Structure 1
Amino acid sequence: MTLIIGLTGGIGSGKSTVSRFFSELGIQIIDADFLARQVVEKGQPALREIEQHFGHEVLMSGELNRPFLRELIFKNEQEKLWINNLLHPLIRAQIVDQLAKAKGDYVLLEAPLLFENNLDKLTDYDLVVDASPALQVKRACARDGAGEEVIYAIIASQIDRKTRLQKADFIIDNNHLARSALEKIVQQLDTQFRKLKN
């Protein structure tokens, strides 16, 4: 059996960089965000349902207008609930399917909402990449070009930092790490995870 390690962290924590380092070590990454994008691609039934629900403005050149939808659901709890009820079962089914096919000592399930969506029920251990909210906002604004207000709203919609850390089996404190130091930590964790398997 392949060991399943959940990888999560708040927006701007550096989770994607950590994931990339694991990938460079030959570890298979199952990316919940990537699967979430797949289920709403052009021609997918879920995209038609979203269009019927929100109207044509939610599409741009036949594809999902993500910034428009994000603004919409962060201001409206009911709409957020509707979209989650539609998409989460579809995404979870894809994740379960990919985990069943995974090979190697361990596989990483990268999911920003690992705990919020109870995806940790599918994992053996969970790794949290942590950063202070101020640093999260600074990084996310620089990366996404979004306003601070939007980033703070996303942070507020995610599980609180203290609870996330309590649920973690492994933590990377990514507040002031250089890239090389972060890469070294990933290499050490890779060794640990392989030992857990054996």
Structure 2
Amino acid sequence: MIKIGITGGIGSGKTVVTSILEVMGIPVYIADEQSKRLTDTSPVIKEQLIALFGATIYTSEGLNRGLLASYIFNSADYLARVNQIIHPEVNRHFLHWTQQQQTTLCAIESAILFESGFDRIVDYSLMVYAPLALRIERACRRDGVNREEIERRINSQMPDEIKKERASFVVFNDNNQPLIPQIQEVITTLTPLTT
């Protein structure tokens, strides 16, 4: 089975690409969703977060996300330590998930594919690229926040140009080039490698 890592900056259109792949019959693991679920359900993550922050990091409903955010957004050290707790569990869970799939291709979607090291557990990476102004416009509309907030989020991520250099494939989601033929070309390139 070939594993593809899908990444791209805020507002690039990763969700659209993910939806297209799923329609094509390629299962996609959404790392952000699974990470949130695992922080509530994984005994390994829970034990380590409690050891780091104390028992108040969890409530009867699960992880106290507001409290965790207050720690990690104010400390690069805490952010790194939390990532060292969560990312290995997401990696393990993704690899277990791939074993359940009955397809020759599957994918993981992660905005932080390279930063998290998830790129090391996939065979190829696909970056969804869109011009910065378009990304800001999309993200403002989607999230209902102002331009400054979106720019702050974008500036906290790995620059697109670095992702483009590291990616095995780049698809352009710029409202000019049709996405489906670009994705189909990637799949056509990879399909013979699965036999």
Q: Runs of 5+ in structure 2 lacking a partner?
A: none
| 1:75-122 alpha-carbon deviations (Å, 9 max, x no partner) | 431221232122112212112222333332211121211111121111
Counterpart for residue 112 of structure 1: 111
| 1:26-75 alpha-carbon deviations (Å, 9 max, x no partner) | 1111221122011122685635764672775x668724454664465334
Q: How many residues align?
A: 194
After superposition, the Cα gap between the structure-2 partners of 1:167 and 1:42, relative to the gap in structure 1 and judged at 3 Å, is closer
Does 1:35 find its partner at 2:15? no
Secondary structure at 2:9 match in 1: coil
Asked whether the 8 Å contact 1:128–1:172 carries over to 2, the reply is yes
Residues 22-31 or 149-158, more deviating: 149-158
Give the percent of matched residue pairs that are identical in Structure 1 and Structure 2: 28
Residues 12-21 or 132-141, more deviating: 132-141
Asked whether the 8 Å contact 1:22–1:190 carries over to 2, the reply is no
Residue type matched to 1:136 in 2? R
Residue type matched to 1:110 in 2? E
| 1:149-174 alpha-carbon deviations (Å, 9 max, x no partner) | 44323322322211100111111111
Counterpart for residue 187 of structure 1: 184
CA RMSD of aligned residues (A): 2.7
Counterparts of 2:95 and 2:160, CA distance in 1: 26
Q: Runs of 5+ in structure 1 lacking a partner?
A: none
> Could you tell me the TM-score, scaled by structure 2's length?
0.82
Residue type matched to 1:188 in 2? E
Secondary structure at 2:126 match in 1: strand
How far off is 1:23 after superposition? 0.2
Asked whether the 8 Å contact 1:74–1:153 carries over to 2, the reply is no
Asked whether the 8 Å contact 2:172–2:179 carries over to 1, the reply is no
Counterparts of 2:58 and 2:44, CA distance in 1: 14
Residue type matched to 1:16 in 2? T
Counterpart for residue 25 of structure 1: 24
After superposition, the Cα gap between the structure-2 partners of 1:176 and 1:64, relative to the gap in structure 1 and judged at 3 Å, is same
How far off is 1:147 after superposition? 3.8
The 5 Å alignment of 1:1-198 reads 2-41=1-40, 46-47=45-46, 50=49, 53=53, 56=56, 62-64=61-63, 66=65, 69-70=68-69, 72-177=71-176, 181-198=178-195
After superposition, the Cα gap between the structure-2 partners of 1:170 and 1:88, relative to the gap in structure 1 and judged at 3 Å, is same
> Could you tell me the TM-score, scaled by structure 1's length?
0.81
Asked whether the 8 Å contact 1:42–1:62 carries over to 2, the reply is no
Counterparts of 1:126 and 1:106, CA distance in 2: 13
Counterparts of 1:149 and 1:51, CA distance in 2: 34
